[in-house]
């Protein structure tokens, strides 16, 4: 497990994005990238932790970083997220040990970080008559 400070956590997030940009769902990649651009290190760490939790089935390579960020968040009780971060660490440890990505009783995905909350509405593409 990696123990982070603020700046090395941010560097780990950037390294993860560079290495995994094609496997991370676009909506999640955009959330992390936009947050990084805001230069609020703590918000970037929280958003990335929650985003990787939301994408844990689609992007299992993000589970280790999610665990390490959750450890950093719970160790410092950022935004009073001690219990949430501990819960996410338990899920990450289960997945890293070969367990299921999602089981009954797991913490719910925060609506702020779910693809449904950030997805653009579908646009109907007109088709030519008789096509």
pLDDT, one tens digit per residue, over 29-84 is 999 999 999 888 899 999 999 999 999 998 999 999 999 999 999 999 998 999 99
- What is the Cα–Cα distance from 31 to 121, expressed in whole angstroms? 17
Query: Is residue 82 included in any domain, yes or no?
Result: yes
Q: Is residue 46 included in any domain, yes or no?
A: yes
Which residues does 7 contact at the CB level (< 8 Å), separation at least 6? 41
Q: Is residue 33 part of a domain?
A: yes
Q: Model confidence over 86-114: pLDDT tens digits?
A: 999 999 999 999 999 999 999 999 888 76
**Size (the chain), residues:** 131
The domain total for the chain is: 1
**What is the pLDDT confidence band of residue 124, given thresholds at 50, 70 and 90?**
very low
Does residue 115 surpass a pLDDT of 80? no
Range of the domain at 85: 6-101
**pTM of the full structure:** 0.83
The answer to whether residue 15 sits within a structural domain is: yes
């Amino acid at each position: 497990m990696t123990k982070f400070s603020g700046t090395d956590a941010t560097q780990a997030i950037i390294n993860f994005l560079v290495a995994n940009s094609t496997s991370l769902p676009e909506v999640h990649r955009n959330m992390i990238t936009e947050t990084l651009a805001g230069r609020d290190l703590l918000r970037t760490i929280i958003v990335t932790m929650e985003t990787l939790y939301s994408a844990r089935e689609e992007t299992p390579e993000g589970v280790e970083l999610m665990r390490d960020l959750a450890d950093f968040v719970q160790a410092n009780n950022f935004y009073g997220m001690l219990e949430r971060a501990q819960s996410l660490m338990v899920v990450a440890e289960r997945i890293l040990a070969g367990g299921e990505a999602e089981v009954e009783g797991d913490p719910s995905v925060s609506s702020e970080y779910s693809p449904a909350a950030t997805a653009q509405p579908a646009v109907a593409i007109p088709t030519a008559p008789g096509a």
